[in-house]
Amino acid sequence: MQDFHENTTSGHLKISTDVIETLTTLAISEIKGVHSLSLVKGGNLKLAGLISRSYAVKPITVEIVDDVVVIDVRINIFYGASIPAVAKEVQTAVKSSVQEMIGATVSRVNVYIANIIF
């Protein structure tokens, strides 16, 4: 698991990617047009070449490289919502929330529309 690290004058700060995922979820939950986060079936994973098991891609993934954060979100939106407008609002809200709460630089918020809900 990658974590966000920061050295302060009084010690070391370490923030789990789970915290970033939670902040992302809360920011998305306030956006009109978003129905839900989406678990996407990822395919089959072969274990030791013998057993095949299905796996799912998490709706929010966080990557941290050199204390710069990249967030991928997979969402379902309501039918009739403007996809570009909702995606832009998700990007702005998530980036703002994470940067304000933990002080990290968020370089990208990638939004994947998984489904439209009627």
Half-sphere exposure of 65 (CA within 13 A, CB side): 5
pTM above 0.95, yes or no: no
Q: Work out the pLDDT band at 10, boundaries 50, 70, 90.
A: confident
CATH match for 3-117 among 3.30.70.1350, 3.40.50.1820, 3.30.450.20, 2.60.40.1180: 3.30.70.1350
CB atoms within 10 A of CB 99: 14
Q: At residue 101, does pLDDT exceed 90?
A: yes
Domain residue ranges of the chain, discontinuous segments joined by +: 3-117
Give the mean model confidence (pLDDT) for residues 21-46.
85
User: Which tens digit of pLDDT belongs to each residue from 35-55?
Assistant: 999 986 665 555 555 555 556
- Enumerate the β-bridge partners of residue 7: 12
